[in-house]
Structure 1
Amino acid sequence: MFSRDKNTNAMGIRLVPGKQKNVIENLMQFYLYDFTQFLDIDVTERGDFAPYPGLAEYWIKRETRFPYLITYDNKPAGFALIDRLDGEDEVDFYLCEFFIMKKYRRSGLGTWASHQLFDRLRGRWKVTQVSTNTPAQAFWRKTIGAYTDNQYTERVDPERGNPSQYFSSANI
């Protein structure tokens, strides 16, 4: 049985090799299901969600795309998809997607994993949430605030209303 105690020894994060990309593809179904609460998305006629656009590129463009698997006791518990934005003036890394299975939420795993990512990929970051996903907004403000000692800025996209946090992990 899963314990809510913070056992960082049981927490893991690693880049996913191409031969295991199906793990991310499978977890993506749960992620998209969670998003039905915040966005108007539906399953296909087969009862699954359409493939995530561009997911295959995370195993083709390995110099600019980083698919991470988040584990607990060596079992899949979530994932992160990160893009390196070469040539961008504002940011180096964009956290495209971040998912922790409900079973592991509020255990410290998400905070631990995100801090690991920020430490591994040093630079300027952008993290965005959907405007209707207030739990994610609260999580990221708290998590990034703790990581940066509240040294981040937040901007809201004027067209979509999605908030984004900007910060640097380069000097932490």
Structure 2
Amino acid sequence: MISDRCERMGIELVPKRKQAVIVNLMQLYLYDFTKYLDISVNDQGLFLPYPDLDEFWKKRERKYPYLITFDQRPAGFALIERMDDAAEADYYMTEFFVMQKYRRTGLGTWAANRLFDHFQGRWKVTQVSSNIPAQAFWRKVIESYTGGRYEEYIDPVRHNPSQYFNS
């Protein structure tokens, strides 16, 4: 049964021509964040565009937009950046989103593990301090992926936890 489910999962680097899929999913992602951050929609009922999202298609040597799919349909996304400050980490999980319908199916864990395997090196993953479910998800995923070999630090100003590990 698990192998059947995994065969239905997919992840792909998003070409410029499919950028709108990430832009559209970003609205759902930002809606989810209304539980944790003070963000609102504009007069047209939309969240403001994600800052510099277009850079993920302009700086392909440093920024990697991925679409997460289930049964070949959009189910989420991951935005990964190669860090400028290589002293801290090589890769940063800038944003990671799985639609509520697909949560607790293993899709998020599967996608995160594929990305960690693909981008070998030192990783940084950060969560908003008030997003307790995301913290639990990432601690569980990273604990399993690394066999417990990771470090966690809390930002002294924003209090956001970050996990650091090697893939």
TM-score, reference length from structure 2: 0.97
| 2:91 aligned to which of 90, 93, 96 | 93
Amino acid at match of 1:126: K
User: Would you say 1:65 and 2:58 are equivalent positions?
Assistant: no
What are structure 2's unaligned runs of at least 5 residues? none
* Partner in structure 1 of residue 9 of structure 2: 11
- Deviation for aligned residue 1:35: 0.1
Partner-residue secondary structure (3-state), 2:56: helix
* 1:1-172 aligned within 5 A: 7-169=5-167
- Could you say if the C-alpha distance between residues 148 and 6 of structure 1 is closer, same or farther in structure 2, counting changes exceeding 3 Å? farther
Q: Distance in 2 between matches of 1:85 and 1:95?
A: 10
Q: Distance in 1 between matches of 2:132 and 2:110?
A: 20
Amino acid at match of 1:66: Y
Amino acid at match of 2:15: P
Amino acid at match of 1:149: G
Q: Distance in 2 between matches of 1:89 and 1:131?
A: 24
Name the Cα RMSD after superposition.
1.5
Q: Distance in 2 between matches of 1:85 and 1:49?
A: 27
- Deviation for aligned residue 1:87: 4.2
* Aligned length in residues: 167
- Could you say if the C-alpha distance between residues 6 and 143 of structure 1 is closer, same or farther in structure 2, counting changes exceeding 3 Å? farther
Judge conservation of contact 1:6–1:108 (CA < 8 Å) in 2.
no
Moved over 4 A (4+): 3-6
Q: Distance in 2 between matches of 1:160 and 1:88?
A: 22
Amino acid at match of 2:101: K
TM-score, reference length from structure 1: 0.94
- Deviation for aligned residue 1:85: 1.1
Q: Distance in 1 between matches of 2:100 and 2:85?
A: 36
Q: Distance in 1 between matches of 2:86 and 2:160?
A: 20
What are structure 1's unaligned runs of at least 5 residues? none
Deviations 1:89-115 (A, max 9, x none): 020000000000000000000000000
Identity %: 60
- Could you say if the C-alpha distance between residues 87 and 137 of structure 1 is closer, same or farther in structure 2, counting changes exceeding 3 Å? closer
Judge conservation of contact 1:95–1:126 (CA < 8 Å) in 2.
yes
Q: Distance in 2 between matches of 1:4 and 1:35?
A: 30
